[in-house]
């Protein structure tokens, strides 16, 4: 059934129905955009194995279509294949960096590199993410295919990377920016030159992780 769906698209009403209907003006060949769009449908339903297939077909259809790589990168991350996630994000960025949803790529890369324990690369992509934000047009980025993921998660990822790299002053600054963004009165001013201070920073990171997951 999956192969039939992949080869034929029939538009019905306001949406599109993926089915094979014989004798109906012939078969309509799916575009790379349609393939990727249905990949996102699978992604949002947490059907990541099928999403991988649809995004893969979209890439085969047009190797220059950025949203296919975006979808594949996020999907591979959910499949706990962070190295593959990095591969797809980085492969497209090596070809083009002038597209509108580039924040999705840097956010996804920051999470994937963090999962791989590559804190320097994670920090780089977090900083690229915040450097490319248009704070007038898009003051609060959120991932369009999972609204629970937003710029605060990237900021926390940055703080974690800074902590792991020993940039404790930067880490403390990132923590305070998160508290401020969520409307908390907490102001962190730890003596991070001491073990006690660094332990306190780690506790704040753990607290914020729970708060953001539950928000």
Average pLDDT over residues 38-45: 97
Domain ranges within the chain, ordered by starting residue: 100-215
Q: Which CATH architecture has domain 100-215?
A: Alpha Horseshoe (1.25)
What is the residue-averaged pLDDT of the chain?
87
The confidence band for 27, taking pLDDT boundaries of 50, 70 and 90, is: low
Specify the pLDDT at position 98: 83
Instruction: List the structure tokens of 55.
Output: 């995004």
CA dihedral 129, 135, 139, 143 (to 10 degrees): -30
For residue 100, the model assigns a pLDDT of: 84
Does the pLDDT of residue 1 top 80, yes or no? Answer: no
- Which residues have a Cβ under 8 Å from the Cβ of 188 and sit 6 or more positions away? 172, 175, 176, 179, 200, 201, 204
pLDDT over 70, % of the chain:
85
| Structure tokens that stand for 17 in this block | 């129905």
Region 2-20: what's the mean pLDDT?
Answer: 35
Q: What average pLDDT score do residues 125-146 get?
A: 84
pLDDT at 4 (0 to 100): 40
Q: Looking at the predicted structure, is the pLDDT value of residue 84 above 60?
A: yes
pLDDT at 26 over 80: no
- 3-state class of 51 per DSSP? helix
Give which of 160, 161, 145 is closest to 38, Cα–Cα: 145
Lowest mean pLDDT, pick from 8-22, 121-135, 173-187: 8-22
Question: What are the tens digits of pLDDT across the range 136-180?
Answer: 566 789 999 999 999 999 999 999 999 999 999 999 999 999 999
Sign of the torsion angle spanned by Cα atoms 208, 44, 108, 111: positive
Residue 21 has pLDDT above 60, yes or no: no
The pLDDT assigned to 59 comes to 97
Range 2-10 contact pairs with CB under 8 angstroms and sequence separation of 24 or more: 2/50, 2/53, 6/30, 6/35, 6/53, 6/54, 6/57, 9/34
pLDDT band at 97 (very low <50, low <70, confident <90, very high): confident
Residue 32 has pLDDT above 90, yes or no: yes
- Contact between 161 and 119 under an 8 Å Cβ cutoff? The reply is yes
């Amino acid at each position: 059934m999956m192969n039939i769906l992949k080869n034929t698209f029939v538009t019905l009403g306001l949406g599109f129905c993926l089915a094979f209907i014989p004798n109906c003006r012939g078969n309509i060949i799916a575009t790379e955009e349609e393939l990727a769009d249905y990949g996102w449908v699978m992604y949002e339903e947490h059907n990541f194995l099928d999403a991988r297939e649809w995004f893969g077909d979209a890439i085969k259809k047009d190797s220059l279509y950025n949203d296919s790589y975006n979808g594949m990168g996020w999907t591979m991350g959910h499949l706990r294949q962070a190295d593959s996630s990095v591969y797809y994000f980085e492969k497209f960025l090596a070809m083009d960096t002038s597209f509108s949803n580039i924040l999705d790529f840097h956010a996804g890369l920051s999470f994937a590199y963090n999962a791989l324990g590559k804190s320097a690369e994670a920090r780089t992509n977090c900083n690229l993410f915040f450097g490319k934000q248009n704070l007038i047009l898009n003051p609060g980025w959120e991932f369009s295919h999972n609204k629970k993921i937003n710029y605060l998660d990237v900021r926390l990822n940055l703080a974690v990377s800074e902590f792991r790299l020993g940039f404790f002053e930067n880490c403390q600054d990132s923590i305070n920016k998160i508290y401020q963004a969520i409307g908390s009165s907490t102001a962190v001013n730890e003596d991070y030159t001491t073990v006690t201070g660094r332990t306190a920073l780690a506790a704040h990171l753990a607290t914020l992780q729970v708060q953001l997951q539950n928000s």
